[in-house]
Each structure stands twice: as structure tokens, then as C-alpha cells.
Structure 1
């Protein structure tokens, strides 16, 4: 699987592209190009053909122009990927703004922040399924563009004012979004396997079940035999991505809730603060 990384381009050029501070006008007689048109065409290539197919030549073909004409606007593929990622993050709904940050949760502070984090997780899940190539972009050095910044700010607002330090707020947001990334990655791989084999997980499971029952000795593998059979019967498959996401998200939020309560306790007089 192809993996690309953000932050590999020239910093000054990448930031100029991300914030559109240095966009050049089309040359006389050339097609009406722009950074936005090029980026949208690149996203379409990645959406329909996969990240491995993405190249400056492929984007130029989709736009019906010569490859060299793209370099008037985008220095190269590294910078293009930065802007692509920032652009699709702009599709996330970011309601509330300042009012959201100041909103009172009507005596349910835990339910308030938990509901907000859950909504953020589900929005990210939807975005990853819409653009699966995002899961192939390593972004430990994120593109510092307007949309990525806005999403980060919005996510932090979900846990602002609940007793966490700034570093803890950042870590909680990273934990939740990291879980979503991993969970959806598994779901996308399951979808890809189904397309490649032409067989659903349910069909695969029932095709193997008769033979498995003959070779699986429950006396040798008692727990695996019992639990595997129960899970297989429940999901009609060895793995259910949707169940895994729902279960995992709930447990992650449960853990965050325990941590938030512990921080509140340590800050109270009874907790010795």
C-alpha cells in the first residue's frame, strides 16, 4: 500500500499554498488554472484511482493541460498532498464557534464534552470513508493550513474548560482521532478485500465453517473454539468493523471520562489541590 507523508515539501512554498498568499495568475493564452482547480482534480484522482495513481501528470490529464503548466501553481507532489489533505479537512462540519466554546451544558458537563467528542469521531469516520486515501497519508507533521487549524481548534473546544491542562486537552483529542483513524483503516481494508475477492465476509465465514469444525479441536483450544464460535455466530464473519468501531469508541470515551473525573478530584479541596 502506497504511503505518502505531509510536511515533505518546502515549508515556505507549502504554507504559501495552504494559505493562498502567493497564488500566481494564469499566463496569457494558457488555460484558466488555479491552485483550487488543481487540488480538486488531484483529490478526484485519489478518490477514484487511489493514492498510488496520483501524479502531476495524472492531474494534468484530468484537467486537460500540459504537466508543466501545473508547476506555475504547485511546486510539486509533496506540496500538493499537503494542500489536498488540508482541503478535505475543510469538509468537516464545524458548528458553534465562540458560542460553542462558551456554552453551558445544563448541569451535565461530562455528557456535554462526551457528546462533542463522539460527534467529532463520527465526523472523522465519515470523512475517511469519503476519502480513503487519507489513511495512506502519514501526518505526524501535519499541514499547517487553515482547515487543519480550524479542525484542531474545534476539537480542542470540545474539552476546553472541563479541568484538563492544555497538554492533556491535546492528548485527549489525539487519542480519540487516532482511534478513529485505526478503526476506519481496518474497515477500509475489509471493504478492499471484499472487492478483490468478490466474496463478502459472511460468505467467507460460511465457506470455511464446515472445514473449521472438522479440524478445530475444542479440547486443545477450548477458549478460542468457544469465543470464536460465539463471535462468528454474532457477526456472521470473523470481524465486524462497525461493531468494532462502536465498541472501541465507547471504551475510549469511558477511559477519558475516568481521567476527567480524576483530574476534577485532584483539583478539589478533598483531593488535596
Structure 2
């Protein structure tokens, strides 16, 4: 990526602060950068990131594909703008209560966000774009652990840990929901249909521990799993560990 594209994308990310003109060259644009980002988010919400293409965004806006490049440098840069826009679409909730309550608020906000926009979990965040909403988000996340007694490095690692765990849990939840939608049957219906073959390949006593645990889980969940319960359980165990770290 050329340096000029990096500079342009950062300028676009901070366009509302810098007052950057909408678009960069040619005649007066028919739409704005904001319009392009909004249309792109709608496309990603409908089709996911794997099928996301600039041509779909251009078609939605009634533009020619090449015209889109007068607004954004390319596909990956547009995705960066989309992510930052989504991070700011809802007000960050107040962080109140003890450490556990604050971290649960942080995680739950991300969980809800991922379920509104599942494509967020498909974005490569190895080197995220630094935009205003992303910067506000990081400051807010750090506020949840500020003053608890952690070092600055630990604070950064805690934010990374909570974010990574929540993304993984949300992905499992979304995939479970999508499996039901694709198959047009519930987990209970799937088990009922496939029980005869499973009984043949898994005779009684062949898997004693997993049979016992699986039966208990199935009776409790009435499903293959309970993503929300697993999310809460995992988050509680993470905070348990963080509290133990503070005690040490």
C-alpha cells in the first residue's frame, strides 16, 4: 500500500474532525463518503464479508465501480471505515460497579455489536485502522480497569483478552444460529433425525464420560449447546483469574 493511500485513509477516518472534503478528485460527487460507508455496511450486513465487493456497494449507490475509487482507496480501506463507523453507532454504556460488572459491560457491548453485524468477526484486526470511534472504544475499555491495581501493560492485555474471548464466544453463538437457519431445523430436531445412526456408531458404553456429560448438557440446554451461558461462564472465570492476580 502506498504511503499516500495510508494518509488518505487516515484522513477519511477522521474526516468529521478534520473537515476533509467528500471525495478527492474529479467533478462534484453525487454522494458523500458517509453515504458510501453506510451503503457498504448494509451490503456487509446482508451478504457477509466473504461476499463483500465494491461493485455491490457501487450498484447500491447507483455509481459505476471506478467512481467509487474517488471516495475510498480500495476494499480493505473501506472495510476499515465501516468498522470504525459501526464502533460508534451506539453510545458506549456507563461503566459502574465493581471490576466484574465493568468488564461484563464491556464484553456485553461487544457481544451485542457482533450479533448486529456478524461480519465484524471476519475482519483482520492484526493492524486495525486508528479511527475516532476505535480510539474512543479503547479509552473506554481501559477505563473499565483503570484504578483497579493493574500495571499499564496488564491493562492492555486485559482489554485484548476480553475482546478476544468475546469475539470467539459471539462467533460460536452466531454460527449456531446460522446452522439452524440453513438447515431449517432446531438442534432437537437434528438429534432426533440422526439418533438412529449415532446409536449404531456409538453403542452403549463406548463413550461413557462423554455420554454422561452430553446427556446432562442436552437435558439442560435442550440443544447442542448454550452459547450465552458459555459466554457468561467463561467471562466469570476470566474475571476470577484477574481478581486472583490482584490479590497476589
- After TM superposition, the score normalised by the length of structure 1 is 0.81
Which residue pairs with 1:54 in the alignment?
A: 52
**Alpha-carbon deviation of 1:73?**
1.4
Q: Distance in 1 between matches of 2:21 and 2:246?
A: 45
Which residue pairs with 1:234 in the alignment?
A: 220
**Alpha-carbon deviation of 1:29?**
6.1
For residues 208-219 of structure 1, the aligned pairs below 5 Å read: 208-213=194-199, 215-219=201-205
Structure 1 unaligned spans of 5+: 1-8, 106-110, 263-273
Which residue pairs with 1:69 in the alignment?
A: 67
Higher relative contact order (CA 8 A, sep 6+): 1
- 2:188–2:223 CA contact under 8 A, matched in 1: yes
For residues 200-211 of structure 1, the aligned pairs below 5 Å read: 200-211=186-197
**Structure 2 residue 92 is the aligned partner of structure 1 residue 91:** no
Q: Distance in 2 between matches of 1:220 and 1:60?
A: 57
Q: Distance in 2 between matches of 1:254 and 1:11?
A: 41
**Structure 2 residue 32 is the aligned partner of structure 1 residue 34:** yes
- After TM superposition, the score normalised by the length of structure 2 is 0.89
**Alpha-carbon deviation of 1:169?**
0.3
Which residue pairs with 1:108 in the alignment?
A: none
Which residue pairs with 1:177 in the alignment?
A: 163
Q: Secondary structure at the match of 1:256?
A: helix
Which residue pairs with 1:6 in the alignment?
A: none
**Alpha-carbon deviation of 1:27?**
5.5
- Stretches of 4+ aligned residues off by more than 4 angstroms: 25-30
**Alpha-carbon deviation of 1:53?**
2.8
**Alpha-carbon deviation of 1:91?**
2.3
Q: Secondary structure at the match of 2:98?
A: helix
**Structure 2 residue 20 is the aligned partner of structure 1 residue 16:** no
Which residue pairs with 2:175 in the alignment?
A: 189
Q: Deviations over 1:105-135 (max 9, x none)?
A: 7xxxxx5222111011101000000000001
Comparing 154-163 with 219-228, greater Cα deviation is found at 219-228
Which residue pairs with 1:79 in the alignment?
A: 77
When residues 30 and 141 of structure 1 are mapped into structure 2, their CA distance, relative to the original with a 3 A threshold, is closer
Q: Distance in 1 between matches of 2:124 and 2:238?
A: 22
Structure 2 unaligned spans of 5+: none
Q: Distance in 1 between matches of 2:115 and 2:14?
A: 26
- 1:218–1:226 CA contact under 8 A, matched in 2: no
